[in-house]
Structure 1
């Protein structure tokens, strides 16, 4: 640090985690920080995903900061544009936007023994005492290697990079994938297109929940009655906690969840279509898809669920392994993200020349998903082994940011650099991996982005309240403190 005690902080990413980090830094009077954002505006997930039907699958009133309830949604699940508006408004209200530097992508971060030097893709170097990575997990699209895709005469793009020039009305649309994005697109576009081919490699369990309107009187109470929005939010949290219990091993909750999914599947009238849509793994093994309308959409006459594998893409459409050519005008790749990339392709080098790739060679080693051994004063928000299918990511982010802020408080007060003890990090991570391997993520018989290359879940099977208690206060003995 410089002669003064206030550290210079760089935050990477201006999505939800970056915005909240900025709010908490300002609340502490730590205003010497910059949020580096590679795009030309803030927003993360809700900026990048603009496909038809994009929405959050966590109830809207829980998917907001606890200190700033979102009282504006008119339906149970907020749309992507509504959420982007909310987070932009929050960033402006708390003056976080004053600290954001747009068009700045980080290529490298390097520890020199006392500070971090962060280099951008343009070659510019920035110096900081503390770096906070708020890059998010779902920010690098996973693109399938399909032969001939460059030969397609129509439009082809990933769902997270929606082409604004694409007009699906009256078009022949192909969607590759059946996860949450594909499901939402199917529901939104099926009534608009001439024909929709949904290319399904793996069937999904669908948890039925309609996007019902929020009555005017409830919206009025949220705006006018102090505390009502928070009480309503608490009720939603109890429901989400039940989903978490089902994922982490509660037999009653798991049975109820499975029965709800089976009952929804049985609304598909055609037995052949129902067979196509029936997964061969346990409910919850993959991230659960939430929709009360998907099964109605795929039963439309202009929708076909294609289970034959994709052989290649041709000029006029997609050729499947059964020899059929599916003629298309637009092909959307709803094929997910490199969820295990985290900071990559950024390179990070800590003490003694140890790199992030060294630390993560076998498993993404970390301490409680927020800190890295051998990386002093380098903190993560929602890092590897965060709770995955057992809690709202926004609630997890709030807990992680609160914990990191306490670490930064110590950095300021004691004028030190903090890094977690490697042995303690390994001990905690081993316990998490053992517990996770016994959950449906490890035993459910599926392949998902919850798993590493060895089939071991990369998520922490902990309920939200337990996570909050575990991360209420840092354990000083778990960290090495080096005077600066």
Structure 2
């Protein structure tokens, strides 16, 4: 049966698993999760796949973010698809351009690119049993048997709600919308925020600008980034012996799981060790005691997302760098005015103010059974069953959905496990001749209630901080147990947690 015939059958509402045809599958997003979904679905024999990508290239967050100093805080050997390990990574921790090139190459090598409809956002999804009706930004309407949201987590920039933001006369842009036409060399630059992105930018450009003004609301803990450049000889060795690439992958996985990830979910020894490492990093790299005091957080390391950066402290200690801790009262044409009445004159303003972490597939309008609207149901506190499914939304799956970032693991590894889980569900539908699968409300409620209790014992809740992990519910929206437990659950689906609809 051809793809067009399959879509025609879907239009006639014949359940794919009962008619012996390929399911028509829509994937939203062509980032790393979307790429993983296409490759693994095709390997499992599901080939009628259409990917909708709102921009003109694959890559997701690594396409969107191109700011100076951009790098990954997960080792390259692990921040890779297991089905496409790369021997010749230039660095232990890859820079953004290298990761983007890798994702584009994988998409091309595995036939993903030609499955993508570029420059086409999905605006509406409506369930009409047993199919999903999809509407795109150009008004086109399609019908699919299955929808997989692979939109990622941090893709909608947050802009600060500060009086006068639009009145600033210099260059002004969000870090995820970096303006490469703006020349910052020799300029007076201001940056709002001190998270990971801001630290990388400050470390990368402070020695090039005339003045760097860093507006800090809350200090963050930083750990040094143990960066190294891989030698050509070492990369050739791994290329010649692929099993060494797999060994390196598993080594870095175990290293992260038993150190940083362990500290977040109750390993007190590891938590104390990370605290000491961060304190030493600060002391060794910020000689001025007054500046050091203003850079010292009043909460435990790992309470927020720990920042791995070796360049920020030396940069903020430079004579042309200024750390401003007074609250911003307004932005004016010439700069930023703070609560002490001072106007900090600027030529350029960078907004390192993060993303809407509660969006996921939103702002697409998603309507499930009985007209239930997903945005209304989530109401600023998105939840899912095992991060991939929702009651009342049959045949709708998410990769990196709510609580999908697990234990600060490699998001690529998590995505691969989640796609494998979804493939298992499709296989079960085919074997049992099912029209649809949807999470049971009781399973969803029990799972999220257990997470809500368990999160209280993690460093994210007990460490004394607030962070973007907290949503409207007032608790961190994160997986609270040991990360390997989650990966194990992805390998062993419990079909009793789902309505299996004939």
TM-score, normalization by structure 2:
0.94
Is the Cα–Cα contact under 8 Å of residues 5 and 413 in structure 1 kept in the other structure?
no
Matched-pair contact (CA < 8 Å) for 1:390–1:461: no
Is the counterpart of residue 191 in structure 1 residue 207 in structure 2? yes
Shift in Å at residue 444 of structure 1?
1.4
Moved more, 421-430 or 209-218: 209-218
- Indicate which of 278, 285, 290 corresponds to 1:261: 278
Mapped partners of 2:31, 2:380: distance in 1: 29
Q: Quick one: distance in 2 between partners of 1:170 and 1:67?
A: 45
State the distance in 1 between where 2:454 and 2:167 align: 47
Aligned residue among 109, 113, 118 for 1:97:
113
- Aligned counterpart, 2:387: 369
Match of 1:114 among 130, 154, 160: 130
Q: How does 1:238-387 map to 2 (within 5 A)?
A: 238-241=254-257, 242-267=259-284, 268-361=286-379, 363-387=381-405
Deviates further, 438-447 or 232-241: 232-241
1:144 matched residue in structure 2 = 160
Q: Distance in 1 between matches of 2:253 and 2:341?
A: 48
Does 2:451 align with 1:432?
yes
Task: Confirm or deny that 1:126 pairs with 2:145.
Answer: no
Deviation, 1:363, is: 4.2
1:156 to 164, 169, 172: 172
Partner of 2:4: none
Map of 1:57 onto structure 2: 73
Task: Encode CA deviations 1:227-285: one digit per residue, 9 max, x unaligned.
Answer: 11111222222221111001111011111111101111112110110011001111111
Shift of 1:402: 1.0
Q: Hey, what does 2:3 align to over in structure 1?
A: none
Once residues 424 and 467 of structure 1 are traced to their aligned partners in structure 2, the CA distance between those partners, rounded to angstroms, is 16
**1:464 equivalent in alignment to 2:483:** yes
State TM-score, norm by structure 1.
0.97
Contact in 2 for aligned 1:248/1:390 (Cα 8 Å): no
What is the match of residue 87 of structure 2?
71
Q: CA RMSD in A?
A: 1.4
| SS of residue matched to 1:136 | coil
8 A Cα contact 2:454 2:481, kept in partner: no
Alpha-carbon distance between aligned partners in 2 of 1:415 and 1:168, rounded to the nearest angstrom: 61
Partners of 2:407 and 2:482 within 8 A in 1 = no
2:230 matches 1:211:
no
> Equivalents in 1 of 2:323, 2:433: separation in Å?
60
CA distance in 2, matches of 1:80, 1:226: 24
Report what 1:33 is aligned to.
49
Question: Tell me, what secondary structure is at the counterpart of 1:67?
Answer: helix
How many angstroms apart in 2 are the aligned matches of 1:164 and 1:226?
38
The whole-number CA distance in structure 2 between the counterparts of 1:362 and 1:189 is 36
8 Å Cα contact 1:433-1:460 kept in structure 2:
no
Q: Residue 193 of structure 2 corresponds to which residue in structure 1?
A: 177
In structure 2, do the counterparts of structure 1 residues 465 and 389 end up closer, same or farther at CA, with 3 Å as the change threshold?
closer
In the TM superposition, residue 151 of structure 1 has moved relative to its aligned partner by 1.4
Instruction: Provide, for residues 19-62 of structure 1, a one-character-per-residue CA deviation record: whole Å limited to 9, x for no partner.
Output: 00000111122211100001111111000000111111111111
> What secondary structure, in the 3-state scheme, does the structure 2 residue paired with 1:212 have?
coil
2:8 corresponding residue in structure 1: none
Aligned residues: 483
Q: CA deviation at 1:463?
A: 2.9
Q: Please, which of 18, 33, 38 is the counterpart of residue 22 of structure 1?
A: 38
Quote how far apart the aligned CAs of 1:300 are.
0.9
Quick one: which of 12, 19, 31 aligns to 2:28? Answer: 12
The answer to whether the 8 A contact 2:381-2:473 is kept is no
Select the residue among 423, 426, 430 that pairs with 1:405: 423
Distance 1:362 1:136, change over 3 A: closer
Is the contact made by 2:406 and 2:483 (CA closer than 8 Å) also made in structure 1? no
What is the match of residue 448 of structure 1? Answer: 467
Q: Which moved more, 1:106-115 or 1:63-72?
A: 63-72
The whole-number CA distance in structure 1 between the counterparts of 2:87 and 2:219 is 35
SS in 2 for 1:98: helix
Deviation of the 1:94 alpha carbon? 0.5
Which residue of structure 2 aligns with residue 221 of structure 1?
237
Distance 2:301 2:438 in 1: 38
Deviation at 1:358, TM superposition (A): 4.2
Alignment check: 8 A CA contact 1:147 1:313 kept:
yes
The structural deviation recorded for 1:190 is: 1.1
Where does the alignment leave 5 or more consecutive residues of structure 2 unmatched?
1-14
Is 1:168 the counterpart of 2:184? The answer is yes
Distance 2:86 2:339 in 1: 48
Report if aligned partners of 1:37, 1:101 keep a CA contact under 8 Å in 2: yes
Offset at 1:362? 7.5
